């Protein structure tokens, strides 16, 4: 009987909060972005399982597909300008190939013949929606793989971090004394730790997998500044009348902490969780951008490859190598941030418009 009532209460609260959340336009935009990337990350295994995509072609790491183009073999003149070519850079044209290159690789061919060559990186086509990279791998499939990595990492690290910080923060506020002092100094220490150099050092002696990184990031995030914030929130809850009445009616310390204080700190913790996902995604991308992670494919690695192979400075000519990965990181991190803003509006009544 009582359980049913509790259920109804919770459902009503969720409904009310959802209504409030829907009012914030930025929050809904963020939710849309997150759902979109979530859909992308589920879509890829589905495509492989149903056989619509062949793993040999579309696999993000070992797939290969060559796009064939026909090029006319020409011999570039020694002096410019000639009738056909104005400058030295004009020969060979896009649909032509210089015979000297063919000779250098011992390929047979005469001037005027058609030579079939592989085009890599290939521009977007109906086969590859976002084209292929310089190794003939499908970019769209890589983006999907990257969003799986981002979700796994972001959610694991956020859950670990929030779990730690909520427990420790509430305990610090509730028990006070030596525990409080110790926890606060500990978070001073963690806050002081420069995160990126610290991760560099860890990556120097450990082969970092995704979940290692998630645990490390979650622990650092959970022990750091969020403990202080959760503690200050819990301190505000602790002095409320219902905690006193729980104590007077004989509630044990542990029960008061878990049944009365924790639920009131939970919204703040949820907010933290959403914001820390943003940080975790950015950290992963930065580390793999610097080539310090032991991951096959992620958005950071895509940008790292584009930069290492020198496509960044070709500008927009090879836009499919540069824009999708960078924009995906930005959009997903931004999406989580906007969801956090929307939740902030819900849980912080002072921010509401009415």
Partner 1 sequence: MLIYTVKRFFEMIIVFFLFLIISYLLFNAIPGNAFSSLLLNPLLPPETYQRTIELFGLDKPLFERVQLYIINFFKGDFGYSYIYYPRSPIEVIAERLPRTLMLFSIVNVIAFYSGFLVGKVLAWRRGSKSETWITIGSVFSYTVFYPWFALMMLWFFGYKMNWFPLGKFLVPEKWYDSPYSSDEIFYTLILFTTIGSFLLFLVFIFTRNIESLENRRNARIVGLLFLLVLASIYWSNGEASLKRFYAADIAFHMILPTFTVTLVAFAGTALLTRTTMMEVLKDDYILTARAKGLSQKRIRDRHAARTALLPVVTSFIFTIITIIDGSVLTESIFSWPGMGQLILEAVTREDIPLAMASFSFIGILALIAHFIADVSYAFLDPRIRVKADT
Q: Is 14 in the site for partner 1 (CB under 8 A)?
A: no
SS3 state of residue 250? coil
Question: Considering beta carbons, is residue 107 or 201 the nearer one to partner 1?
Answer: 201
Q: Pick one of 167, 230, 261, 325: the residue that binds partner 1 (CB under 8 A).
A: 325
192 binds partner 1 (CB under 8 A): yes
197 interacts with partner 1 by CB under 8 A: yes
Nearer to partner 1, 37 or 299 (CB): 299
Residue at token pair 């799986």: 148
Whole-number Å distance between alpha carbons of 224 and 277: 15
* Strands laid side by side in the 96-98 sheet: 96-98, 67-74, 114-119
Contacting range for partner 1; rule: CB under 8 A; set: 42-50, 122-130, 248-256, 322-330: 322-330
Q: What are phi and psi of 72, to 5 degrees?
A: -80, 135
> Is residue 177 within the footprint of partner 1 (CB under 8 A)?
no
* Residue 196 near partner 1 by CB under 8 A: yes
> Binding partner 1 by CB under 8 A: which of 216, 261, 337, 339?
337
SS3 label, residue 10:
helix
Shortest distance, CB of residue 140 to partner 1, whole angstroms?
A: 18
Single out the segment in contact with partner 1 by CB under 8 A; choices: 45-53, 96-104, 244-252, 278-286: 278-286
Q: How far apart are CA 283 and CA 280, in angstroms?
A: 5
Nearest residue to 208 (alpha-carbon basis) of 278, 288, 102: 288
Nearest partner of 130 among 29, 58, 234, judged by Cα:
58
Q: For residue 138, what are the β-bridge partners?
A: 132
Instruction: Provide the pairing of β-strand 114-119 with 96-98.
Output: unpaired
| Chain positions contacting partner 1, by CB under 8 A | 25-26, 185, 188-189, 191-198, 200-202, 204-205, 225, 278, 282, 285-286, 289-290, 299, 303, 307, 312-313, 315, 322, 325-326, 329-330, 333-334, 337-338, 341, 344, 348, 350-351, 353
């Amino acid at each position: 009987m009582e359980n049913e009532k509790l259920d109804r209460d919770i459902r009503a609260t969720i409904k009310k909060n959802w209504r409030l959340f829907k009012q914030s336009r930025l929050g809904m935009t963020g939710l849309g972005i997150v759902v979109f990337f979530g859909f992308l990350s589920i879509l890829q295994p589905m495509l492989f399982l149903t056989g619509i995509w062949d793993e040999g072609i579309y696999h993000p790491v070992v797939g290969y597909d060559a796009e064939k183009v026909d090029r006319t073999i020409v011999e570039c003149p020694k002096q410019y300008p000639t009738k056909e070519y104005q400058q030295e850079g004009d020969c060979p044209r896009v649909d032509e190939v210089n015979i000297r290159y063919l000779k250098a690789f011992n390929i047979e061919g005469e001037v005027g013949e058609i030579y079939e060559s592989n085009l890599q990186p290939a521009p977007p086509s109906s086969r590859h929606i976002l084209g292929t990279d310089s190794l003939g791998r499908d970019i769209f499939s890589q983006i999907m793989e990257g969003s799986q990595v981002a979700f796994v990492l972001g959610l694991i690290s956020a859950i670990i971090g929030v779990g730690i910080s909520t427990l420790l923060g509430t305990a610090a506020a509730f028990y006070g004394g030596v525990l409080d002092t110790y926890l606060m100094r500990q978070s001073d220490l963690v806050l002081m730790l420069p995160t990126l150099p610290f991760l560099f050092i860890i990556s120097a002696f450990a082969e970092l997998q995704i979940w290692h990184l998630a645990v490390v990031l979650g622990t650092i995030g959970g022990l750091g500044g969020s403990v202080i914030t959760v503690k200050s929130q819990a301190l505000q809850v602790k002095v409320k009348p219902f905690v006193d009445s729980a104590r007077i009616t004989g509630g044990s310390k542990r029960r008061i902490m878990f049944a009365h204080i924790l639920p009131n700190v939970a919204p703040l913790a949820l907010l933290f969780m959403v914001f820390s996902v943003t940080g975790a995604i950015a950290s992963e991308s930065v580390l793999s951008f610097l080539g310090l992670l032991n991951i096959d494919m992620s958005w950071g690695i895509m940008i790292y490859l584009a930069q290492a192979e020198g496509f960044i400075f070709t500008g927009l000519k090879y836009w499919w190598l540069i824009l999708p990965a960078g924009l995906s990181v930005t959009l997903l991190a931004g999406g989580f941030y906007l969801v956090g803003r929307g939740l902030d509006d819900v849980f912080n009544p002072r921010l509401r418009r009415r």
